[in-house]
């Protein structure tokens, strides 16, 4: 239809539930082979939007195209290009992993036994695939969910909070896995309420708040703040503070409560990143001991504050 490289196109969708606008007009495109993040706090409309993408909910207004096919009119055609996990990876607990995959394979065209073996291999569930899903850990269910989503060789994979409830090792594996899928040309749409998650996984991101998309762009661009937040652990504290304050580059001083009373008090300030070594040298020259310098990434909250000009994210 249109641009070949656009796998998912969301055009100004709105959703009204019980006379309340939950989604107030969202638009974005997901391109082939990219990991697209969908970032927003809980309750911002992430899951509602995802449900509209896969035809679980009908948008009140607007249209969604998957590979150029409108989801609203031809859900059965559009959805053959999609694999998804909405919220938790829920499968039939009384069937084995294999039986679950067979079940969903029957709902697709041309999925062979060979293909089921392949996806089991991809997610690394060979050992336990014939056990009942009831006995699986959350991480294994997550992997089985992904195996299910991959069955039909989709062009778009939609994952809702894929790292929720996983242990740190599992989260790391998931990240590597998602990146490897994208390298094979699959587009992956990942939602999360954790900025660090999105930063580590995604190429581009849309940020959603109160049912609106507040920003869409490359992760690096959005995350790069004008000024870096730097924490200095200094002693003697007052002397060091004075030196930092003397510089015109450094703004917004805030002493962190943890350091109080001890000799290692911490000040948090904003400054351009290239000023850090210069200030450090100055401090050392004045015999102030610099015990630690920490560059702080902006938190989701801070990012929101910046993008929404101070609107809070309750």
Partner 1 sequence: MISLYPLIQNETIKLLKKRRFLVILVIVVVLVSVFTYAQTRIAENTRKQLGTTDWRITTQNQIADNTNKLSNIRIPDEAKRAIKVEITRLQYALDKNINPQTPSGVTFTRDFFGNAIGLFLPLLVVILAIDLVSAEHSTGTIKILLTRPVRRWKVLMSKLITLLLFTSLIILMTTLICYAISGLAFGYSGWSMPVITGFQVTGDQLITANAHVIEQWRYLFMEISLCWFSCFVVGCISLMVSVLVRSTAAGMGIMLAALISGVILVNMVASWDSAKYFFMVNLQTNTFLSAALPSAGSPPVPGLTLPFSLSVLAAWALISLVISFSVFTKRDILN
Instruction: Tell me how far, at minimum, the Cβ of 109 lies from partner 1, in Å.
Output: 7
Pairwise CA distance, residues 51 & 82, whole Å: 13
Q: Is 99 in the site for partner 1 (CB under 8 A)?
A: yes
Whether residue 138 has a cis bond before it, omega within 30° of 0: no
Counting contacts by CB under 8 A, is residue 51 touching partner 1? Answer: yes
User: Residue 159 or 269: which CB sits closer to partner 1?
Assistant: 159
Bridge partners of residue 150, in order along the sequence: none
Region near partner 1 per CB under 8 A, out of 29-37, 95-103, 208-216, 302-310: 95-103
Using the rule CB under 8 A, give the single segment among 96-104, 168-176, 286-294, 306-314 that binds partner 1. 96-104
Strands 204-209, 35-39: pairing is parallel
CA end-to-end distance (rounded Å), the chain: 40
Q: Which of 1, 3, 4, 56 binds partner 1 (CB under 8 A)?
A: 56
What's the closest the beta carbon of residue 152 comes to partner 1, in angstroms? 8
Tokens found for residue 17: 């539930």
Binding to partner 1 (CB under 8 A) within 107-146 occurs at: 107-109
> Is 61 a residue that touches partner 1 (CB under 8 A)?
no
Task: Work out whether 30 is an interface residue with partner 1 (CB under 8 A).
Answer: no
Cα 114 from Cα 119, distance rounded (Å) = 9
Question: At closest approach, how far in Å is the CB of 173 from partner 1?
Answer: 22
58 lies in the binding site for partner 1 (CB under 8 A): yes
Does 70 bind partner 1 (CB under 8 A)? Our answer is no
In sequence order, what DSSP letters do the residues of 33-83 get, joined into one string?
Answer: T-EEEEE--TTSSHHHHHHHHTTSS--SEEEEEETTEETTT-HHHHGGGEE
SS3 6: strand
Which DSSP letter does residue 29 get?
Answer: E
**Which residues here bind partner 1, judged by CB under 8 A?**
17, 51, 54-58, 75-80, 82, 84, 86-88, 90-95, 99, 103-104, 106-109, 148, 152
């Amino acid at each position: 239809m249109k641009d070949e490289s656009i796998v998912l196109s969301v055009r100004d969708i709105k959703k009204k539930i019980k006379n309340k606008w939950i989604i107030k007009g969202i638009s974005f495109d997901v391109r082939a082979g990219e990991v697209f993040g969908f970032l927003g706090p809980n309750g911002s409309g992430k899951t509602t939007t995802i449900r509209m993408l896969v035809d679980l909910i009908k948008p009140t207004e607007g249209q969604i195209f998957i590979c150029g096919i409108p989801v609203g009119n031809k859900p059965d055609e559009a959805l053959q290009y999609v694999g998804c996990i909405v919220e938790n990876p829920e499968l039939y607990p009384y069937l084995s992993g294999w039986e679950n995959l067979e079940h969903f394979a029957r709902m697709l065209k041309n999925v062979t036994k060979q293909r089921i073996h392949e996806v089991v291999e991809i997610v690394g569930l060979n050992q336990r695939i014939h056990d009942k899903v009831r006995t699986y850990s959350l991480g294994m269910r997550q992997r089985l969910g992904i195996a299910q989503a991959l069955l039909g060789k989709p062009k778009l994979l939609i994952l809702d909070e894929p790292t929720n409830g996983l242990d740190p090792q599992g989260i790391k594996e998931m990240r590597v896995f998602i990146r490897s899928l994208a390298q094979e040309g699959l587009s992956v749409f990942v939602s999360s309420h954790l900025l660090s998650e999105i930063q580590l996984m995604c190429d581009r991101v849309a940020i959603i708040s109160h049912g609106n998309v507040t920003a869409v762009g490359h992760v690096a661009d959005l995350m790069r703040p004008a000024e870096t937040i730097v924490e200095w652990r200094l002693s003697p504290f007052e002397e060091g503070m004075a030196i930092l304050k003397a510089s015109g580059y450094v703004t917004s001083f805030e002493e962190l409560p943890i350091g109080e009373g001890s000799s290692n008090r911490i000040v948090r300030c904003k400054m351009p990143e290239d000023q850090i070594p210069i200030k450090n040298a100055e401090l050392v020259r004045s015999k102030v001991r610099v015990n630690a310098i920490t560059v702080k990434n902006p938190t989701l909250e801070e990012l929101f504050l910046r993008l929404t000009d101070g609107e809070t994210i309750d």
